[in-house]
């Protein structure tokens, strides 16, 4: 039984399973603009053929990526996966003599799945659009068959120091390690546990208190996050804010600045003030600034928050709260 008939029959459940996470979510598939070394000009048609081929197998979670990479390498495909927020990427190469299809899955970061379908000699260098489309469909089906059979190949790596060009056994970089290394690029959420102190100024009094708190953030888009925080000191400070994370690829440090609204209550506090500085159940404008730096799989975060009172009788609350910060 050949690859085409295998994929159409007994391998379909396996393909569906491989393109679905354990929790039931579909794997996100990106379709890159093809390399086209022919005169046929069928790049858009090829991409639509890829989408329709997967649709025949009951798979529809595909996205067209309007980018054309300058080279085919592990680094280039891996960067596309990260930048486009997909799990799997497919690239077609059209040549006058053959059609190639490359498939890269971030869950197997050092494997490339590939098939090259040679054109019959009588049509090489004068292949028609219809023939290219047909051989593209064949190459895609057989690449998927290789993917199901785990028949991966190696791609050349970009030039670097000789030690980095050495072969890396699969057991050195496991899928889990790949996720850890790229956590900051692909994470949607973060959480933090903080401890520190707070100073409250209001009603003619100044008091200080120790502090503990929890923070949870979710990525909105790019570097923007929505953050919910709750800090317990002499007051109970709850804040909802928008945070922006500044990143520098050449530095492990990240800076966060935020702006949002806060609510203060005197219920469920960590301790009590000797003299009251803030009225209960009042609203505040909250600003924040913090910096994080990594230590193994977690980050140390040092953050300061300032709560400016918005109603009569309210004052200002300053916090300084170092803690542990984790992206996931």
Give the pLDDT confidence of 239-289 residue by residue, as tens digits: 999 999 987 766 778 899 999 999 999 999 999 888 999 999 999 999 999
pLDDT for 238 equals 97
Report the DSSP pairing between strands 298-309 and 316-327.
antiparallel
Specify whether the backbone of 204 is left (phi greater than 0), alpha (psi in -120 to 50) or beta: left
Burial pattern 26-62, b for ≥16 Cβ within 10 A else e, equals ebbbbbbbbbbebebebeebbbebbbebbeebebeeb
Residue 160 CB neighbour total at 10 angstroms: 9
Higher pLDDT, residue 174 or 212: 212
Q: Which residues have C-beta within 8 Å of that of residue 261, sequence separation ≥ 6?
A: 239, 240, 241, 283, 284, 285, 286
* Cα-based torsion angle of the residue sequence 121, 124, 126, 130 in order, rounded to the nearest 10 degrees: 90
Q: Where are the domains of the chain?
A: 3-180, 187-327
Report the DSSP pairing between strands 298-309 and 98-105.
unpaired
Beta-strand runs (E) in the chain: 29-32, 35-36, 62-65, 88-94, 98-105, 112-118, 189-202, 205-221, 224-232, 236-247, 254-265, 282-295, 298-309, 316-327
Q: How many residues does this entry show for the chain?
A: 328
Of all residues in the chain, what percent carry a pLDDT higher than 70? 85
CA 276, 279, 280, 285 dihedral sign is negative
Model confidence band, residue 320 (pLDDT cutoffs 50, 70, 90): very high
End-to-end CA distance of the chain: 44
CA 274, 280, 283, 286 dihedral sign is positive
Q: Which residues have C-beta within 8 Å of that of residue 177, sequence separation ≥ 6?
A: none
pLDDT for 170 equals 44
Strand pairing partners for 235?
none
**H-helix or E-strand spanning residue 177:** helix 175-181
Task: Specify the range with the lowest mean pLDDT, choosing from 33-37, 59-63, 161-165, 266-270.
Answer: 161-165
Residue range 178-202: average pLDDT?
81
Specify whether the backbone of 58 is left (phi greater than 0), alpha (psi in -120 to 50) or beta: left
Give yes or no for a contact between 97 and 65, defined as CB atoms under 8 angstroms apart.
Answer: no
pLDDT for 147-170, tens place per residue?
888 887 765 555 544 444 444 444
pLDDT for 210-234, tens place per residue?
999 999 999 998 889 999 999 999 9
Determine the topology of domain 187-327 in CATH: Porin (2.40.160)
Higher pLDDT, residue 317 or 27: 317
pLDDT for 229 equals 97
User: Of 285, 327, 325, 328, nearest to 302 (Cα)?
Assistant: 325
Mean pLDDT of the chain: 84
pLDDT for 184 equals 61
Say which CATH class 3-180 falls into.
alpha beta
Q: Fold match between 3-180 and 187-327? A: no
User: Of 36, 31, 28, 67, nearest to 47 (Cα)?
Assistant: 31
Residue with tokens 């190696």: 154
């Amino acid at each position: 039984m050949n690859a085409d008939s295998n994929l159409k029959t007994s391998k379909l459940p396996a393909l569906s399973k491989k393109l679905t996470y354990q929790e039931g979510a579909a794997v996100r598939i990106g379709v890159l603009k093809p390399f086209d070394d022919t005169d046929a000009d069928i790049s858009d048609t090829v991409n639509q053929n890829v989408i329709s081929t997967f649709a025949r197998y009951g798979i529809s979670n595909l996205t067209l990526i309007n980018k054309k990479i300058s080279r085919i390498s592990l680094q280039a495909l891996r960067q596309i996966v990260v930048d486009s927020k997909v799990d799997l990427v497919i690239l077609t190469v059209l040549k006058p003599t053959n059609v190639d299809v490359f498939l890269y899955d971030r869950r197997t970061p050092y494997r490339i799945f590939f098939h090259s379908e040679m054109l019959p000699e009588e049509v090489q260098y004068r292949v028609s659009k219809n023939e290219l489309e047909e051989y593209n469909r064949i190459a895609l089906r057989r690449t998927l068959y290789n993917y199901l059979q785990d028949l991966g190949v190696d791609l050349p790596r970009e030039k670097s120091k000789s030690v980095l060009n050495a072969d890396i056994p699969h057991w050195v970089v496991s899928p889990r390690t790949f996720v850890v290394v790229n956590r900051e690029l692909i994470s949607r959420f973060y959480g933090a546990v903080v401890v520190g102190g707070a100073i409250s100024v209001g009603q003619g009094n100044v008091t200080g208190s120790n502090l503990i708190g929890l923070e949870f953030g979710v990525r909105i888009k790019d570097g923007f996050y929505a953050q919910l925080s709750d800090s317990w000191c002499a007051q109970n400070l709850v804040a909802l804010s928008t945070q922006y994370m500044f990143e520098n690829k050449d530095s492990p440090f990240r800076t966060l600045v935020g702006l949002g609204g806060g609510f203060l209550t005197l219920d469920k506090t960590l301790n009590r003030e000797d003299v009251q500085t803030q009225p209960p159940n009042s609203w505040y404008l909250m600003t924040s600034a913090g910096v994080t730096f990594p230590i193994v799989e977690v980050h140390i975060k040092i953050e300061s928050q300032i709560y400016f009172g918005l109603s009569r009788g309210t004052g200002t609350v300053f916090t300084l709260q170092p803690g542990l910060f984790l992206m996931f």
